[in-house]
Amino acid sequence: MTASAPGASPQKAEFWPYAEAGKLAARAAGYPPERSVVFESGFGPSGLPHLGTMGEVLRPAYVRQAFAALEPSRSSRLIVFIDDMDGLRKVPESLPDREGVAAFLGRPVAQIPDPFGCCSSFAGHMIGLLRVFLAPAEVDYELLRASEMYSTGRFDEVLRRILVLHGEIIAIVAPTLREQNRENWSPFMPVCPACGQVNSTLVTAHRPERDSVEFSCQRSFGGAHGCGFRGERSVLGGGAKVQWKVDWALRWRVLGVDYELYGKDLIDSARISGRIVRLLGGTPPLGFPFEMYLDEAGHKVSKSIGRGVGVEQWRRYAPIEVLKYFLILNPQRARKLFLESIPQYVDEYLDELRAWSAAPEDARRNSPLTFVLQRNSARRFASQLSFAMIMNLVGALGTDDRQLIRAYLQRYDQATGADPETEALVSTLVECAINYYRDFVEPAKQRFEPSEHERAHLGELIAWLKSHPDAEADEIERAVYEIGRLHYDKPGKIFPVVYKALLGQERGPRLGSFFRLTTPARAAEILERALETS
């Protein structure tokens, strides 16, 4: 019988981690009680981890959390599998000594020296970065390295099976390859004992009776070229690895993987790997293809060319909970993931947190925040402040004086100081806003040079603000609009003029609320200073 937490039944929830966990619970229904359910995610240590990497780990972790609510008596594991036997195909643009690394193209990344000079290998360095990268997300996982699985013999039994079934596997894979790649394709890629390359070797004969393959090191791959060595090598104990689609099936079979998500660009690979794992006596894992993360230009985020956002960069501009919230939203919808989009995500998160804290306990279970909030996360945000407003205040005041900024915010909304959790989150948001303003907004500001007429119109607004120090937001908004009505064919044309003088940009917050936040007198001083320097 399936157990569930009290309150709303997770089985009936529509939120995608619960829907996926329900499918997984049905799959595991016939497992022995001691059998753990295995979740997996892969990481290729040929480049720096980025926020897409975070998503590939967190998303199965969310399903695992939902599964634990459905099946609290069933243990589970989340394996992050490191593909460090893969040959380096391209030198990432973000690396130091790119020419030095290029000399090792084609070799397994586990056997390439660390270009940063601090770890035992290229792969070791990237694995260390991955651990640091994932630490703030507070996700429970275990790392397994392909190089260790191959070298210690954990893959050997199934590698023998692949060698015996190589003809059937070739028949599955070959039709999916380009015609020029079909001839001499083999499931195996021996590591050349002469030059250490794996991408350059070509299998010429399979010898199941000796657990070996004959090969020649003759292929060119990108900037790597074979050394010409010919010989025979055992496929066991790390002497060879298997091709990508076969490698995925090998992993699923040996580790008993039950659940793995993958990008939509791997749909065909997953289908082929599923056929192979069945041939090997296993069952493909559950999961579904997710959409890609895109950069500001609409390109796929890529670690191989260094395109992407690091978690430390993100944390400079937003709380880690905002990133986790972003990553749990519908995985089957493509999303842009770049630093300039962070303010939008922060405000979406604050809206969700307000709703979550006000909701009854049973309604919270179907909220993304059930999965997102961490041990020290604020559970309430009893304020109507937005991150955009805080950033605009920082820009208008032109200061990083935290005490002054907080004083203005508390004047606008006294709830910011009345609740400790709200207070803590506001403090974090102020730090993030200062960082964001310094790094993105201030460098992009353009000097405003008002015309004689615009200067006169701003003068009228300054005089009005000084004469109405206690004006409310709606009253201020009407005053700005009235000045626009008197001097422009369309009253709204006054607003970009005020924004450019105030913030150095054509758009901004509602002026009535913002001038009330800064106080009308302080807003008048800021506008006067802008006119003096223009």
- DSSP notation for 438-487: IIIIHHH-------HHHHHHHHHHHHHHHH-TT--HHHHHHHHHHHHHHH
Would you state the pLDDT for residue 299?
54
Q: Could you write out the three-class secondary structure of 325-358?
A: HHHHCCCCCCEECCHHHHHHHHHHHHHHHHHHHH
State the Cα–Cα distance between residues 208 and 214, nearest whole angstrom: 11
475 vs 238: CA distance, rounded Å: 76
From edge to edge, which strands make up the β-sheet containing 201-207? Answer: 201-207, 212-217, 230-234
- Residues 247 and 81: their CA atoms lie apart, in Å, by 12
- Residue 75's pLDDT band, with cuts at 50, 70 and 90, is very high
Closest by Cα among 69, 64, 130 to 287: 64
Same structural domain, 436 and 461: no
φ and ψ at 143, to 5 degrees? -95, 135
Residues 230 and 367 in one domain: no
Q: Which has the higher per-residue pLDDT, 136 or 97?
A: 136
* The pLDDT of residue 446: 76
Final residue of a structural domain among 444, 473, 489: 444
Is there a single domain that holds both residue 264 and residue 382? no
Task: Please tell me whether residues 53 and 88 are part of one structural domain.
Answer: yes
Both 503 and 424 in one domain: the answer is no
What is the residue range of 193's domain?
188-241
- Give the strand pairing for 262-263 and 240-242: unpaired
| The model's pTM | 0.87
Domain-embedded: residue 1: no
- 211 and 311 within one domain: no
Please say whether the dihedral angle defined by the alpha carbons of residues 11, 13, 15 and 19, taken in this order, is positive or negative. positive
The reported pLDDT for the residue numbered 460 is 95
Do 44 and 119 sit in the same domain of this protein? Answer: yes
199 DSSP β-pair partners = none
Residues 478-521: tens digit of each pLDDT: 999 999 999 999 999 999 999 999 888 888 888 998 888 888 99
Q: Are residues 150 and 162 in the same domain?
A: yes
pLDDT in tens, 414-453: 777 778 999 999 999 999 999 999 998 888 777 889 999 9
The b-or-e profile of 249-262 (16+ CB within 10 A means b, else e) is bbbbbbbbbbbbbb
Cα dihedral sign, 172-174-175-177: positive
Dist. CA 253–CA 255, nearest whole Å: 6
Instruction: Tally the residues of the chain.
Output: 534
- The confidence score (pLDDT) of residue 472 equals 92
Residue 100 has pLDDT above 90, yes or no: no
Pairing type for strands 335-336 and 293-294 reads parallel
pLDDT score for 143 = 97
Residues 253 and 336 in one domain: no
Structural domain contains residue 5: no
- Whether 485 maps to a domain, the answer reads yes
CATH no. for residue 145? 3.40.50.620
Are residues 311 and 208 located together in one domain of the fold? no
My answer on whether 141 and 253 are in the same domain is yes
Q: What is the count of structural domains for the chain?
A: 4
Which of 206, 221, 241 terminates a domain? The answer is: 241
Instruction: Let me know whether 198 and 159 are in one domain.
Output: no
Residue 301: its pLDDT value, please? 54
pLDDT band at 308 (very low <50, low <70, confident <90, very high): low
pLDDT, mean over the chain = 90
CB-based contact 17:62 (threshold 8 Å): yes
Summarize the confidence of residues 171-184 as an average pLDDT.
Answer: 91
- Asked whether the predicted pLDDT for residue 8 surpasses 50, the reply is no
Which tens digit of pLDDT belongs to each residue from 150-168? Answer: 999 999 999 999 999 999 9
In the chain, count of helices (H) and strands (E)? 25, 14
Q: Domain with 521 in it: what CATH number? A: 1.10.10.350
Backbone angles phi, psi at 43, to 5 degrees: -135, 125
